[in-house]
Structure 1
Amino acid sequence: MTLDPFYLIVGRATWIDRLAPLGLKLVQLRVKDMEGEALLHEIITAKAAADRFGVTLVINDHWQAAIEAGCQWVHLGQEDLLEADRAAIRAAGLKLGLSSHDGPELEAALAADPDYIALGPIFPTTAKQLKWEAQGLEKLRTWKKKIGEMPLVAIGGLTPERAVAALEHGADSAAVITDVVGAEDPDARTRQWLDATKRWR
């Protein structure tokens, strides 16, 4: 299994409609301010947009809604993994991505038999408050040796230039939030990311 080297994380489905026409192929919907019917509607809307443009859609955290909406991917953090019904996730045919930040979390993630593992933060990040220090690029080499063929996603403080470095150090995909959705011109920044990562595509 392969992942696109450019992994965009967004908070609303409208970003998919906006940026997918530029060549976006992998996106995670990370909704933190909705629940119930509003959340389900947002996920269904995102799936429709992703299907329309041939984009792989990953739903962050909300695995029940992802199942209900007929999605194919879900991403869980370590705390969410403890509470999730992994049997239900697998029975629904969802592929699973997991976050990890240190050695024990890597072992816990591997024990859950995921379809990819994310390591972060690689660099300091403002997108999310974390108790872990920046892991650095060399940690990517170490973790890639440990997980083998399973895709490794780098996340945290990435720019197009840092994404190239992460991919060169063993990551299979580079995930980003703020550098794109917080950019003055998100469309232009997306094109820069697509151009920077094209040789791994």
Structure 2
Amino acid sequence: MERFYLITGDIAWIEKLVPHGVKFVQLRIKDRSDEVVRQQITKARDFCRQHRAQLVINDYWELALELGCDFVHLGQEDMGNADFAAMRKAGVRFGLSTHDEAELDRALSYKPEYVALGPVYPTKLKQMKWKPQGLERISRWKQMVGETPLVAIGGLTPERLAGVFQAGSDSAAVVTDILQAHDPIARTQEWVEACKR
């Protein structure tokens, strides 16, 4: 599992940032037409292959299967509709979101490639019904997930990274700290270097 996990909402960000050392990137498309989603996933698949980066498709597991993508991320609300048997048969790996212990138990029952926990810190990305989870929750989750990699998400910055990794997270997922940065490319490079340390 890569320590730095970039999450973006558009192929343009993937094309802009992946060449600067990003090896693990999620395409999380919201509120776009089916045609646009298909185009975005196809372009992202080809671009990431070319740059030897692992592409993760958020939610659209059926399109991921159809278009030959090999990694999917699902939120709790999407797990009920997903055909895990079909994904496994096609060799598609998947990561799952969790926010509380019931969700974690449910996620682990599917034997995911990784489990995500969030928001660790207050986040600007979307209104969450969960309070910030904090570093202690990361440590508790790490004990509970065992060998399954743990991804921390929500309000992360390079300055908070050491604490997140020390608490037990295997990977740091980043959205707004890069996408809303004054210089997203420089911030990406900063993240890549920080995660190497």
Range class of TM-score, shorter chain: over 0.9
Moved more, 162-171 or 133-142: 162-171
Structure 1 gaps of 5+ residues are: none
User: 1:131 maps to what in 2?
Assistant: 129
Count of aligned residue pairs for this structure pair: 197
Deviations 1:12-66 (A, max 9, x none): 1122221122111110000002232221111010011101111010000010111
- Identical amino acids, percent of aligned pairs: 52
User: 1:53 maps to what in 2?
Assistant: 51
Structure 2 gaps of 5+ residues are: none
Q: 2:78 aligns with which of 77, 80, 83?
A: 80
Tell me by how many angstroms 1:105 deviates: 0.5
Residue 168 of structure 1: SS of its match in structure 2?
helix
User: 2:26 maps to what in 1?
Assistant: 28
Hey, which bits of structure 1, 4+ residues long, moved more than 3 A? none
CA distance in structure 1 between the aligned counterparts of 2:16 and 2:36, rounded to whole angstroms: 21
- Pair 1:122 & 2:120 matched: yes
Return the TM-score normalized by structure 1. 0.95
Deviations 1:158-200 (A, max 9, x none): 001112221111000000100001111101110111111113x
Q: 2:8 aligns with which of 7, 10, 26?
A: 10
CA distance in structure 1 between the aligned counterparts of 2:9 and 2:28, rounded to whole angstroms: 5
User: 1:103 maps to what in 2?
Assistant: 101
Tell me by how many angstroms 1:117 deviates: 0.1
CA distance in structure 2 between the aligned counterparts of 1:190 and 1:168, rounded to whole angstroms: 21
CA distance in structure 1 between the aligned counterparts of 2:178 and 2:35, rounded to whole angstroms: 28
| Cα root mean square deviation, aligned | 0.9
Residue 132 of structure 2: SS of its match in structure 1?
coil
Query: What one-letter code is carried by the residue in structure 1 that aligns with 2:66?
Result: E
Residue 144 of structure 2: SS of its match in structure 1?
helix
User: 1:180 maps to what in 2?
Assistant: 178
CA distance in structure 1 between the aligned counterparts of 2:65 and 2:74, rounded to whole angstroms: 14
